[in-house]
Amino acid sequence: MTSTLYLHDNWRFSAANEIDWHNATVPGCIHTDLQANGLIPDPFYGTHEGSIQWIDKQDWLYETAFDVPQEVLNESQIEIVFEGLDTYAEVFLNDTLILSADNMFRTWRAEVKRFLKSRSNRLHIRFRSPIQEDLPKLERLGYGLPATNDQSERGGLGDKKLSVFSRKAPYHYGWDWGPRLVTSGIWRPVKLEAWSQARITDVYIHQSSVTLEHAVLEANIDIDSEVDGLALLQLHVEGRVIERQVTLRRGMQTYTIPVDIPDPRLWWPRGYGEANLYTFRARVLIAETVIASRTLRTGLRDIQLVQTNDDMGTSFYFQVNGVPVFAKGANHIPNDSFITEVDEERYRHEIVTAAESNMNMLRVWGGGVYEDDCFYNLCDEYGIMVWQDFMFACSMYPGDEAFLRNVEQEAKDNVRRLRNHPCIVLWCGNNEIDTAWAQYDEQGGWGWKQQYTSTQRAEIWSAYEAIFHRLLPDVVARLAPGAAYWPSSPMQALTGDINQHAKNDSTRGDIHYWGVWHAVEPFSNYNVYLGRFMSEYGFQSFPELRTVRSYASEADMELESDVMKWHQRSGDGNRLIKEYMDIYLPKPKDFPAFLTMSQVLQAEAIQTAIEAHRRKKPYCMGSLYWQINDCWPVASWSSMDYFGRWKALQYYAKRSFRDIAISFEEDDEHIAVQIISDGRENLAATLHVQLFQFDGQRIREHTTQVHVEANRVMTAFSLNKNDWTTGCSLPEIVLVATLENQGHTLDQKCHYFTPVKELRLDKATITVRPVNPDNGMTFLVETNVFAKSVMLTASVEGVFSDNYFDLVPGLTKTVTFLRREPGDTALQPAQPGLITASSMCDWTAIAQ
């Protein structure tokens, strides 16, 4: 059996040109070690990031001493395994060079038995500066490659964009939401693996055919043997043991065991069924003794990326177990600039947030990292589908043989590691490169290709095709047969002509729509630019005041302060927030109010987009906003800030992504109340439509019985605006639609007859009282006059079951507080401490 000895203790580090050593944490990185030893300030506070750009220009040394138990030394084979070295590293064991690394995303192994001793082994690693390492590559190439988000100027490098030459997390070099903090270090576990006779190196469950009635599988078991001879290979699943006699030979070999499972418990995305998982255990026995074992968990499901021609273009949707699934969710970036700071609790909080917010998909974006196993395990458990990018984004890349070999091994390592996860539904080559370069449209793209000669352009595009049209799809096809591969997001199709590149009005492929935000287009354009799958769109906001105070002093609390501009990486981002706020919302009374109002503004924008996308089902079958999380405390497009605090958008998204949802569609004369169903069963429901004055007086109402068809969108009721609003003051009325089933409210939405900015809001008195005073977890929220965007705040960390909601007098809201504490496995109902309530009227001068 394999013995594992983790080597995480007693590490120290030093600059290569110094003699002083300091304590180090492994896994970790140089920046966190420097900060822990008081050698640099908090990189996230104020403008400190700018003062520590010297770190990535130096080489760094790490070393430890360790003993090896005799039972480990007695094994005939011993390997050292580095699951992640960031990035250029030479590793010495007892003064012998055992490996050189040049890719953050690969697993590095070396046979070390002959170098080990029982006591005082010395493991020494020299991390070479990624900047010094890659400058010569740029010089040899003779021209720079496009890398729009590489903040080389902040790093003191002028226009020398080096991120493209290193197989390292691109966001480390900066992005339009993140700092430039180019790390080095041992960022994933390091261990000794010792074994004798044989070991199982991998088990892959290939799902040949999965239906509701039957699952036909193949267990492909890789065995590394140092002996020749007969052995018994076993596969344990669901109380069954499948056995096969095999003849081992020295070296690597693969054996396949067919598996049939009748009436399988299928894995479903959240909202469509249970995320059922099976455990498989493979064992090798010689003379009835188990000499090797490996266990994995996977879910049985049939996933298809359906792209078929129809009368509207070409579809683009995921079909799971024969059911078309509307993908609801967001884009995911790394949860920290220093990824080793992300523990299981932070991963779980993100995935629970997604599930609680009625999401069923996250897109792991290509400028970060292939995530930790914990991330994918949680997505498996909670039924969150994963759109998995390879780690390439918004840049062109080299095409030399060494670079391509490195990328191929990186792809193999990660596809092998992740291919058993049922959550992964798509492998995507890169983020936005096809549309940025726009090879077949001379006037298209981001203006990149026009900077190069014809010879250079041919070289750059040849490298692109080698990686994304040949190398990566080949690896996916060989190692994860049947898995879907998409070369670039966004893209229409792999056509080799101008029809390849995505447009805002594409009728096939996926779309990143950024007209709202970057082009200052109105929110209403979300109703105009609708594609088959909306894989990116977004709008910025600031985090809440508590989070802003974690990086700024009271003197910095103004939009144009140096710190506020430093923590805004999207160029004119702060100006755009203010410009949009001037258009859509009343003026905030002060800077703290501006922070809150920015969140409501963001939420109103993205709600418009989500509901437009969902109403267009089945033409549009996916809505993934940018982005769910942050890597540092910052103004950004996130719906949950760096500390995991839900912004207004997270609550709005939770409501807009409900499996059974109400949405309003308006034209000049009518308002249609539409019901969107992502359910797999038909439903009988009651729709109440009521018109209220802001003082709570009900003016009109209509009730109708509704047959909600499974997985469909329907118009349940349409009203004539003139008929319903005659004699009313439009800025002082609200339309409320409520959908009920057997006394349970499925959804409730409000609609206004004027822009929010023009609503005549009075000061509201909002009361919050516990339903059961003994437990103090669930509360009734009421108001005396209409309150827009009611915000509840607790004195302890956590989230509410609902927040930032509109409240009509007489319509009571029931809310539960969900406590979040380090170490918790999920959000749990708990006492929130002191609760305060406010609404838009409190943040503006409109009722003063």
Backbone angles phi, psi at 153, to 5 degrees: -60, -40
d(CA 367, CA 838) in angstroms, rounded, equals 38
d(CA 248, CA 245) in angstroms, rounded, equals 10
DSSP-derived secondary structure letter, 21? -
Backbone angles phi, psi at 675, to 5 degrees: -120, 125
DSSP of 136-186:
HHHHHH-SPPPBTT--TTTTT-TT---GGGSBS-GGGEEETTEEE----EE
Can you say how many angstroms the Cα of residue 660 is from the centroid of all Cα atoms in its chain? Answer: 24
Backbone angles phi, psi at 202, to 5 degrees: -165, 150
How buried is residue 387: exposed, middle or buried, by Cβ count under 10 Å (0-12/13-18/19+)? buried
Does the active-site annotation cover 665? Answer: no
Q: Which two tokens stand for residue 53?
A: 């750009």
Q: Are 342 and 334 in contact (CB under 8 A)?
A: yes
Q: Which residues, 6+ apart, have CB-to-CB distance to 607 below 8 Å? A: 652, 653, 655, 656
Exactly one of 432, 536, 544, 782 is catalytic; which is it?
A: 432
692 beta partners: 698, 734
Can you say how many angstroms the Cα of residue 127 is from the centroid of all Cα atoms in its chain? Answer: 29
Q: Which two tokens stand for residue 127?
A: 């991390």
Show the DSSP H helices in 616-748 as ranges. 648-656, 721-725
Q: Which two tokens stand for residue 772?
A: 């059961």
d(CA 452, CA 439) in angstroms, rounded, equals 13
3-state secondary structure (DSSP) of residue 494: coil
d(CA 552, CA 549) in angstroms, rounded, equals 5
Buried b (16+ CB within 10 A) or exposed e, 227-241: eeeebebbbebeeee
Q: Which amino acid is at 25?
A: T
* Cα-based distances in Å from 552 to 121, 549, 566, 711: 46, 5, 10, 47
- Other C-beta atoms within 10 Å of 88: how many? 23
Q: Which two tokens stand for residue 440?
A: 């077949």
Which of 326, 463, 464, 455 lies closest to 385 in space, CA to CA?
Answer: 326
Q: Which residues, 6+ apart, have CB-to-CB distance to 774 below 8 Å? A: none
DSSP of 462-483:
HHHHIIIIIIHHHHHHHHSTT-
Query: Using CA of residue 69, residue 75, residue 79, residue 82, what is the dihedral sign?
Result: negative
Which of 301, 572, 335, 276 lies closest to 424 in space, CA to CA?
Answer: 301
DSSP of 762-817:
PPP-EEEEESSTTT--EEEEEESS-EEEEEEEESSSEEESS-SEEE-TT--EEEEE
d(CA 634, CA 543) in angstroms, rounded, equals 7
Helices 591-615/573-584 angle, 10° precision: 80
676 beta partners: 661, 713
Identify the H or E element spanning 376: helix 373-382
Catalytic residues: 432
